[in-house]
A = this chain, B = another copy of it.
Amino acid sequence: MNALPILAQSVLFNTVSPDDLPHLISCLKPKEATYPKDYTIIEEGDVLDELGVVLSGSIHLVRHDFWGNRTLVAQLGVGDIFAETVACTAEKSLVSVVTCEKTVVLFLSVQRIITTCRSECVFHHAIIENMVRLLAQKNLGLMKKMNHITKRNTREKLLSFLSEQAWKTGSKAFTIPFDRQQLADYLCVDRSAMSSELGKMKSEGLIEFTKNTFELKQSML
């Protein structure tokens, strides 16, 4: 498929002029792959030297422990980049990458990205800068998630998460990208316990919700 419009929007290439982009991409050993729904692209423990760009569909970064508890680390969509950490560090992946639907991915060589090539690629140093920003943003994302899950109880985790969503959309009413089980996995709590906590919060007038659409009823920190 035509990856260029999507790549042009991604954090990694949004400063590169559309004219230069095809040449630049061709430098990075691009490989496209299409996966069905619920396909595991990367397994925990895998080692690789390419990062992935989601061209269509969506993916989850998840971890599983020995008792089957699942932790949802992040959900990524079109234009988002994954596996950059494991590719940069050459260490084993701590997460699995699983498709949520039929998904097309473009893989690019990290070695080629961070190693400046000869003068032909005048724009090359631009994407290295972007690579730095990308990693810093990922970092920030992890810290934000940490802000939620380090809360001491379920209600605080929920309020922390919902507040962030409201903040992100700039409105007290918003739709979250998770179903209940996914939200529970994301916040590291039991689904049913979370569900009943949501019920309590609704009956106390703190929040309102139907399906994935929530509304915060009071100012909360």
Chain A residues with CB under 8 Å of chain B are 63, 65-66, 69, 71, 73, 84-85, 88-89, 91, 94-95, 114-116, 125, 128-129, 131-133, 135-140, 142-147, 149-152, 188, 221
**Number of chain copies forming the complex:** 2
Q: How far is the CA of A139 from the CA of B129 in the complex (A)?
A: 17
* Chain A interface helix/strand/loop/mixed: helix
Residues of chain B lying within 8 A (CB to CB) of residue A146: 71, 73, 142, 145-146, 149
Partner of A140, one of B71, B73, B91: B91
A71 to chain B, nearest CB (A): 5
CB distance from A109 to the nearest CB of B (A): 14
Bound CA–CA A38/B170 (angstroms) = 37
Shortest beta-carbon distance, A200 to chain B, in Å? 19
- Of the candidates B85, B94, B188, the one whose C-beta lies within 8 Å of that of A136 is B85
Known: A66-B221, A135-B135, A150-B71. A85 touches B140 (CB 8 A): yes
Cβ A143 vs Cβ B88 within 8 A: no
- List the B side residues contacting A131 at CB < 8 Å: 132
Question: When chains A and B are docked, how far (Å) is the Cα of A115 from the Cα of B128?
Answer: 10
A207 to chain B, nearest CB (A): 19
Residue of B nearest to A134 (CB): B135
Does B143 lie within 8 Å of A94, measured CB to CB? yes
- Please determine whether B140 and A138 come into contact, CB atoms closer than 8 angstroms: no
Given A129-B114, A138-B139, A139-B139, A152 and B94 contact (CB-CB distance below 8 Å): no
